[in-house]
Every structure is written in structure tokens, then in C-alpha cells.
Amino acid sequence: MARNNDDIFKPNLGRIHSLGGARAKTYVNRVLQQISAAGKSGFGTGTTSRSFSGYRIGRGNNALRHRRAGHNFGPSYRRVVIKTRITKFNSGGPKSGIGAARAHLRYIQRDGVAKENEPGQLYDAAHDEKDSKTFLERSEGDRHQFRFIVSPEDATELADLKPFVRDLMQAMEKDLDTRLDWVAVDHYNTEHPHTHIVLCGKDELGKDLVIARDYITHGMRRRASEILTLELGPQTIREIVDKFRRQVDQDRFTDLDRELVRDAVDGVIETAVKPSPPADRFKHAMRMGRLRHLERKGLAREIRGGEWELSPKLKTTLRRAGERGDIIKTMHRSLKQAGLDAGASEFAIYDPHDERAGIVTGRIIDRGLHDELNDGHYILVDAADGRVHHIALDPKQDMDDLPKGAIVEAHPASNKLKPSDRVINEIAGRNNGLYSPDAHANHDPSASREFIQAHVRRLEALRRMNVVRRFADGSWEIPEDFSDRIAEQQQATGRYPGRVNTLSSFSLERQVNSEGATWLDRQLVSPDQLSVRSSRFGRAAVFGKAAVAALQRRRNYLVEQGLAEERNGTIRYRRNLLNTLRQRELQMAGEKIAMESKAIFIHTSNGERFEGIYRKPVHLASGKFAIIEKSKEFALVPWRPALERQRGKTVVGTIRGASVSFEFGKKRSMGIG
């Protein structure tokens, strides 16, 4: 008898409380999903076009509905742009929870954001100066936190942003029917002054503050627009006319473009009928001017008299063009402050998905925030190819590794599988879709335990991205579309060019007389020395000239130290130069830390195993090292990014030359030495 598919039971294993292979959803989200599905079939209202989305769940929904019914929100109202991010708090290190909140407050109070290029100052409803420490203490235990960037379109006409922000937050308290605990910082370091607001995730009763998404999307902007319009008065006809005239030739996504996209039917907009009222005739002329500009850009075309077809890439292309224009302005401003000069042809916006991008090596001449809401940084790299590169960084990037003057290297992103991914996929293909350390050992008997553990760590990272599943026996389920899932993950994170490698956190000047194995030393002993251009900005001292001069000075220093000798115009370096310099610096750094901590420094050699608690990293000329403590002893071992999730925990590892293999979670009774 044929089996009914409904009777087949297939367990979908995962972590406790998880829903198996799919990302776990909260009970509320599952209820909303079911109600939404029922709405499509006529649940409740009998309609099939509208479904329940949950946008009106939370505080502020009633206030928004009443305000919408009260009056028309016309063009004379002044616009306020508000960007919102809801940050969930959880444990897990300095980049999450209170650690992330502390970092965000530090970012928005950084130097140069106030009117006189001073550090930003926190304030709240009653005080012009507030301490971030007390605010963070009140945020302890919050489930989430709200972050807003409020940018009035006419902010330059306001003498001070504080009264406007306080009026907005007071109005929000009325709309949300609760007192709000917030702090803010005003920024004047951009073309458009704006305010960063950080709001606690608890209401006045100590319960989770839930704000209706509809209010966050529309209500706050309406409230802010009303307050700004009341402060400055409605926009005059001349102001509206000037605003639209400026938008006709702008290479960014404008209000005119929004109207064109909104009024288009299947990408086609009708413009043949000319309106009769003067105001409408003016708007019609502006729209036609905009369409002609878009036509020259290849983003619109007239298919017949009075009918225009808009490119499906119009919005994306114009937004990218606007971002590029903002980046170029930032680069001009940074170079001017650094006393450098460059033409537009020498600017490059690093696109890691461009196969022609190549590897960019150079020194950091400036850095800042390109995504203030998500704490996403950028760096300007004075590169060996003779150009200045703007590189956007993932918010997870540790900026402590990227000080000004540091030597860095950026690699283009690749959609190809990593070597470890290919090995995992091959082993799973021969083992019914399963990977395990034993299967790996059988597949490659020469693979060391550390090598296999590296593949297990890669699988742990893929598990957190819901690409693979781990079973209780230590094996892993590798899906048939393993390669496609990894490609999707890379595409999802393609907004940033990936992690930039720090070749040296020391500037060229600091490297010249350093005791450690510097980037300059690696260049001197390498058969493929980096090719640098000797000039780019003409009279300016740039990376090329500075690097060439620093290499020569480093040669002279090594000769003076007896680590190199010159024979017949040729420099010969001592054997194992890099290891000699590295060990000498580690010994000096260890002795210095021992004096400060009153602990004993234990030297670790190649192939030696160690165990201890990871305390913190230290930056040396030879690289970044981790302090591993046990009892009253400590060791310095090469640092790896995965260590940050183990700070304060016991780690076990083995020294492998200038690298190290870690076995996280292992418990041993061995000492460091």
C-alpha cells in the first residue's frame, strides 16, 4: 500500500527552542503571519487585497490616526528626514548589548561634530550636559534601544537644534502616552546639521517600550514637520519653486523623481495633457525638465508623444550617484584638512565586487562614519597605485586596528567558495551530505587535528548564518545547495567590502626605528616588493615617496643594529631576520607588561601548547598579540578575530610559527609553558 506523505515524519533538529533549519520566530511573529495569511483569504473584513501586517501594534497608533484625519499634510509644510534603528540588546562582547550602546554614544560624541569643531555634548529634556555613564546604567536590562537621526531640511535656519528636538520628544511623549528617557547630540560637521537621539527601551512603568511601526515610519516625521513649520513658518511659494528648480539637474534621487515613480503605471508616465492652474503648469515644467535630464542619463526615454518610460534602475542608479557625490565631497574635505591636493581622477571609491578592483595597499590618511545610524566606518587610503581610495567598512570592523597612519590592505570580494568550504562540500558529498571530523580524517589522513578544527570553526560560523546544521554527535548536515547558500550570504553582506587587513598598526615613521618585525622589514626581505609610485600630488609628501624614504631609513637602521650588512652595494640581511625581530620585541613587551601587572612573562616557542584566560589584545610592531593568563603567569601569542568572543574565558592553543591554532572550549590541566 502506498504511503501517504502526510504520515511521513522527518525530525528537523536544531538548538533548544529553535524551529529547526528555519530561523526561529517569536510567538507574536507567528501569530501575525497566520493572521496575515488569513486576511488574504477574507478573514474578518472579507477583503482579499489587504492583510494584517502588525504595523499598528504598539504605542502611537491612535495618535497617528487622529492626526491623519485632522488636516491635510500639504506642500507648504517643511520636511524633516528621520532615520530609525532599533538595536536589540544581548550578551556577547563589546560589539553587542551595552558594549555596542557605549560605543555608539562614544561615536556620536567624537571630536569635530559640534559647531566649533569641538566634541559633541549629550543633552536631554532638562539639561544641556549629560553623562553617558548614568544613561547607560539606566539602560541596563533593556531588551532594546531606539536610535534616531533627525535632520530638518531647513536646519541651517535654526539658531539651535536643542529646542526643536526637545519639542519633538515632548510631543512624542504625548503621542505615546508615556515619559521617555532619552539623550541627544547635535552634529554640525556635515552639509545638513542633524541630531542623534538615543531612546531607552523602557516606558515609565519599566515595561518594554513598543512603538507602532506606523508611528515610527510616518508619525514622527509628521510631528517633526509640524513643529518645524510652526517654528519657521510654512514654506513660501518662492522657497518651493527654488527647491524644485534645484532638483531638475541633480544627480541624486529627488522629490521630483519620487513623484514620477509614484505616478507611473507599469513604468510609463503620461505627460501630454498640460495642467491649466499656474502652480500645476510650473510643476509640469519641472517634471518635463527632470525627464529630459533623466533622458540624457539613459534613465528615461520618450516612447511616443507625451508618454515617457522610466528605467527600472532609476531609483537605484540615482541613489548610488547621490552617495558617490557625498563621498567625493567627504574626500575633498579630508584631503584639504590634511594639507593634500588631488584631482577627481585620483579619487577611487572601492568596489570589492568589481573584478578589476584588485588589491589596494596603502596608509590610512583619514577615517570617519559613513553610516552613522549603524556605526559603519570608512577609511581613506593613500594607496601605492597613486590614488586615494574610499573604503566603506562593515560595522563589525574593529576600528582599534585601523588608526590614522596604519598600513592596510583591502582585497576584492569573491563569490567563490573558500578552500575550507570546498573541502567540507567534497567530504559531505562522499558521506551522504554529512561532515564530521572523523570523516575528514578518513578523507585526508595527512590532515592535522588543528587543520580539521579550523574547518569545524568555519562550520560554526556558517551555522550562525543558518547555512548548515549541527547534530548532537558532532556531525554536520551540509545541504545540497551549500554553494548557493554561501553565495546568497555573500550577496547579503555585499554592502561592505569585507574586512580590511591591517598590515601594520604603526605608521611608517614609527616603523623606521622599531624593535619589532615591521611591514617595512617584510617588504625588504620579500622578493616581490610592493611597487609604489614616487609621486601623485606633485609637491605633497604622499605614501609613495614616504614609503620609499622609510624603506631606505629602515635599511640603515638594520645595518646599524648589526642585523644587515652592505657588501659591494648589496644589502644582505641576517638569516631569520623577521623571527629575530619578532622575538626581541615580544621579550621587551613581555617584560614591560610583567612590571605593570606583577605577573611572570612566559615565552612560548614554535609547536608549544598553552592554556589560559584570554584577557586583551596588544598592538606591537610585529602585529597584534593576545595576553593569555594562567595563575601568576602570562604569555603573548598571535591574536585572531575569533578570540574576541572568548574574552575572559579559557582558551587552549598551539603556536605555529607566526600563527596559532586555538581549540576554544577545551579544558586542560596544562600550564602555559
Q: Give the CATH number for residue 469.
A: 1.10.10.10
Tell me which of 427, 459, 492 is where a domain ends.
492
> What pLDDT, in 10s, does the model give residues 471-486?
888 899 999 888 888 8
> What pLDDT, in 10s, does the model give residues 156-214?
889 899 999 999 999 999 999 999 999 999 998 887 899 999 999 999 998 999 998 88
Highest-scoring range by mean pLDDT, 61-65, 86-90, 393-397, 577-581: 577-581
Asked if 21 and 159 sit in the same domain, the reply is: no
The answer, yes or no, to whether residue 295 has pLDDT greater than 70, is yes
The answer as to whether 360 is a domain residue is no
Instruction: Give the E-state strand segments of 476-631 in sequence order.
Output: 476-477, 501-504, 564-567, 570-573, 600-601, 609-620, 623-630
Could you tell me the pLDDT band of residue 46, with boundaries at 50, 70 and 90?
very low
Asked if 223 and 248 sit in the same domain, the reply is: no
Could you tell me the pLDDT band of residue 513, with boundaries at 50, 70 and 90?
very high
Asked if 174 and 95 sit in the same domain, the reply is: yes
CATH number at residue 169: 3.30.930.30
Q: Which residue has the higher pLDDT, 588 or 30?
A: 588
Radius of gyration of the chain (CA): 30
CATH number at residue 632: 2.40.50
> What pLDDT, in 10s, does the model give residues 225-263?
999 999 999 988 888 888 889 999 999 999 899 989 998
State residue 539's pLDDT score.
Answer: 36
Asked if 97 and 169 sit in the same domain, the reply is: yes
The answer as to whether 544 is a domain residue is no
Mean pLDDT of the 434-456 span: 90
Mean pLDDT of the 52-67 span: 64
Grid cell digits, residue 394: 562593515
> Cell match 568589481: residue?
354
Question: Rounded CA gap, 588 and 297, in Å?
Answer: 61
Question: Rounded CA gap, 377 and 545, in Å?
Answer: 27
State residue 63's pLDDT score.
Answer: 64
Asked if 207 and 119 sit in the same domain, the reply is: yes
The answer, yes or no, to whether residue 422 has pLDDT greater than 80, is yes
State residue 45's pLDDT score.
Answer: 40
The answer as to whether 458 is a domain residue is yes
The pLDDT mean for the chain works out to 81
State residue 480's pLDDT score.
Answer: 86
Asked if 91 and 223 sit in the same domain, the reply is: yes
The answer, yes or no, to whether residue 538 has pLDDT greater than 60, is no
DSSP H/E element including 42 = none
The answer as to whether 619 is a domain residue is yes
According to DSSP, the β-strands at 300-304 and 600-601 are unpaired
State residue 290's pLDDT score.
Answer: 92
Q: Which residue has the higher pLDDT, 30 or 406?
A: 406
117 torsion bin: left (phi>0), alpha (psi -120 to 50), beta (else): left
HEC secondary structure over 304-355: ECCEEEECCCHHHHHHHHHHHHHHHHHHHHHHHHCCCCCCHHHEEECCCCCC
Among 656, 652, 654, CA closest to 665: 652
What domain range is 437 assigned to? 419-492
Asked if 280 and 257 sit in the same domain, the reply is: yes
Grid cell digits, residue 88: 536589540
The answer, yes or no, to whether residue 19 has pLDDT greater than 50, is no
Could you tell me the pLDDT band of residue 32, with boundaries at 50, 70 and 90?
low
State residue 323's pLDDT score.
Answer: 84
Asked if 120 and 71 sit in the same domain, the reply is: yes
Asked if 115 and 242 sit in the same domain, the reply is: no
- Contact call for residues 125 and 170 (beta carbons, < 8 A): yes
The answer as to whether 464 is a domain residue is yes
Asked if 83 and 37 sit in the same domain, the reply is: no
Could you tell me the pLDDT band of residue 49, with boundaries at 50, 70 and 90?
very low
In sequence order, the 6+-apart residues with CB closer than 8 A to the CB of 311 are 294, 298, 299, 300, 317
Mean pLDDT of the 394-405 span: 82
Report the greatest alpha carbon distance in the chain: 94
State residue 327's pLDDT score.
Answer: 85
The answer as to whether 20 is a domain residue is yes
Q: Which residue has the higher pLDDT, 514 or 115?
A: 514
Asked if 227 and 242 sit in the same domain, the reply is: no
According to DSSP, the β-strands at 469-470 and 407-410 are unpaired
Tell me which of 492, 520, 538 is where a domain ends.
492
Mean pLDDT of the 413-441 span: 87
Q: Which residue has the higher pLDDT, 66 or 598?
A: 598
Q: Which residue has the higher pLDDT, 350 or 31?
A: 350
The answer, yes or no, to whether residue 22 has pLDDT greater than 60, is no
- Contact call for residues 225 and 79 (beta carbons, < 8 A): yes
- Total domain count, the chain: 5
Tell me which of 293, 312, 331 is where a domain ends.
312
Mean pLDDT of the 285-297 span: 91
Question: Rounded CA gap, 379 and 193, in Å?
Answer: 22
DSSP H/E element including 366 = strand 360-371
The answer, yes or no, to whether residue 617 has pLDDT greater than 50, is yes
Could you tell me the pLDDT band of residue 7, with boundaries at 50, 70 and 90?
low
Percent of the chain with pLDDT over 70: 81
State residue 542's pLDDT score.
Answer: 63
Q: Which residue has the higher pLDDT, 66 or 344?
A: 344
State residue 9's pLDDT score.
Answer: 58
The answer as to whether 595 is a domain residue is yes
Mean pLDDT of the 411-426 span: 80
Q: Is 126 exposed, middle or buried (0-12, 13-18, 19+ CB in 10 A)?
A: exposed
State residue 27's pLDDT score.
Answer: 63
State residue 51's pLDDT score.
Answer: 46
State residue 529's pLDDT score.
Answer: 76
Asked if 220 and 251 sit in the same domain, the reply is: no
State residue 559's pLDDT score.
Answer: 92
Separation in Å, CA 281 to CA 103, 256, 273, 304, 367: 51, 14, 10, 21, 47
The answer as to whether 194 is a domain residue is yes
Mean pLDDT of the 604-631 span: 90
